[in-house]
Structure 1
């Protein structure tokens, strides 16, 4: 960039570099998605096409930013975790946030027609935040929190919409019926009243979507990294033991 007398304005830019040697998690959330899903007639309590669209948007981000080693999504949100050693954009918070959020939105829009026949009535929007986690325990507990949130919300929504759609209750009546209930109560309502065994519902609804990099051998015998979508438990030890290399604790200079 050529020098000019106006260049001094760059001095007003803040240094927003994130700490080194900690894991960066960027979570993207739909903005005003309750209205968006209603206006676009998403199925309740879950719309598989909408979830697959979110997954494609997340894969698009990971394909372009390969410092992301894992992503987890549910409903209208996706969390991306970067390698601890990542130096992407000099670890500038504003650059990382704006890039991930804009890429996710772009891929969501680009893949819309792949999953829905009806055109968009208006563009969706997403916001994002970045959070730093210093220990393996913190990283695991973050994803434990998001998957537990997925289960709690999905159990409630499954029960709520069963009461509305099949039980002929109004929305306010269904809310009143579920007020103060626990998980066991909701499971009992689903099974006794509607014959639904919650644990037999698709895992993508109950456990969310996890995307990881996986090594595959091509026909010529060469190894290449590909993105793999999982719908599995990530709260227990098994997942993390199988992917121990993801949480590398080495220190960078």
Structure 2
């Protein structure tokens, strides 16, 4: 009987406090200034469309020169870009695939995505700000001992694609662009750094040339077979969610963001990774040697192992 009276009394107190709180807060929630919300633009994205957020470095020619990045490709800089993209994919699970090259990254949200009620400004700003802050936060992890001399910035845009074919063609376009840009830059910087040409002279040498001409310059003058260069340079970096086995954890699996350096233009890629289009759960995947040793995977494995060790220590110390 006493317990029943105590519960009733507590309920009356809670009800009284709630009424007082609501009576005080309601004028603020419905103030005369509320009308300003009507000026906000309704920027909901069309339903059933693939959402692509593409991020590009702003004035990165200047940024990479100032920070003495290797030309034409800086492994640490490329891996930093990809690790920033990994952080974005960990936060936004409706991103089903990402593609990066040079100073740009494209994030593809599935056409059924409902994040932020598909508000374009919210999606754009949150992904861009997280990517940029991650790039700065992990700078020392990948680029030490170089100091970050000034903050980088990235612009971003949202593009919608109504069909699976359109979305695939977008990614094919970005990968084809990777090859075109990298072939040109590889020849250009060989001419400048090893061929004794000035920037202007190298541009003139390459003016009007085709891919076959550039390949011939690389092979005949510098002994380089372009097809033997790392695929990360030639094809860019594809990021996908997969269930992978964690080394040194007795076969334990974890969901990770895995880098791929393959052709995504042909059907084979989409057949092997069908979950991108269907949005099924990530597949079990066996990492190849390059992926296993890649810094992106090593960093993720370190986090999994550290978390497991912390849990183990907590269990051992608990009474």
User: What's the TM-score once normalised by structure 1's chain length?
Assistant: 0.95
Q: Distance in 1 between matches of 2:220 and 2:245?
A: 48
Q: Distance in 2 between matches of 1:39 and 1:118?
A: 11
Matching residue within 180, 193, 196 for 2:224: 196
Residue number in structure 1 paired with 2:270: 240
Matched, 1:168 2:221: no
Q: Distance in 2 between matches of 1:30 and 1:237?
A: 30
Residue number in structure 1 paired with 2:92: 65
RMSD: 1.7
Matching residue within 50, 60, 81 for 1:54: 81
- Structure with larger RCO (C-alpha < 8 A, sep 6+): 1
- The answer (yes or no) to whether the contact 1:84–1:248 under 8 Å persists in 2 is no
Q: Unpaired segments of 5 or more residues in structure 1?
A: none
- The answer (yes or no) to whether the contact 1:60–1:107 under 8 Å persists in 2 is yes
Q: Which has the higher helix share?
A: 2
Residue number in structure 2 paired with 1:136: 164
User: What's the TM-score once normalised by structure 2's chain length?
Assistant: 0.76
Residue number in structure 1 paired with 2:122: 95
Task: After superposition, give the CA deviation of every residue in 1:45-104 in whole Å (9 maximum; x if it has no partner).
Answer: 110100000000000000111110110000000000011111000000000000010000
Matched, 1:182 2:210: yes
How big is the shift at 1:5? Answer: 1.2
Aligned length: 250
| Greater alpha carbon shift after TM alignment, 217-226 vs 90-99 | 217-226
Task: After superposition, give the CA deviation of every residue in 1:147-193 in whole Å (9 maximum; x if it has no partner).
Answer: 00000000000000000111000000000000000000000000000
Structure 1 counterpart SS, 2:29: coil
- The answer (yes or no) to whether the contact 2:55–2:104 under 8 Å persists in 1 is yes
| Greater alpha carbon shift after TM alignment, 99-108 vs 223-232 | 223-232
Matching residue within 237, 240, 259 for 1:229: 259
How big is the shift at 1:3? Answer: 2.3
Matching residue within 97, 104, 109 for 1:77: 104
How big is the shift at 1:223? Answer: 5.9
How big is the shift at 1:133? Answer: 0.7
How big is the shift at 1:220? Answer: 8.4
Matching residue within 89, 92, 111 for 2:138: 111
Q: Distance in 2 between matches of 1:245 and 1:53?
A: 26
Q: Distance in 1 between matches of 2:205 and 2:63?
A: 26
| Greater alpha carbon shift after TM alignment, 60-69 vs 212-221 | 212-221
Aligned runs of 1:213-228 on 2, under 5 Å? 213-216=241-244, 224-228=254-258
Q: Could you say which structure has the larger radius of gyration?
A: 2
Q: Unpaired segments of 5 or more residues in structure 2?
A: 1-27, 281-319
Q: Distance in 2 between matches of 1:71 and 1:163?
A: 33
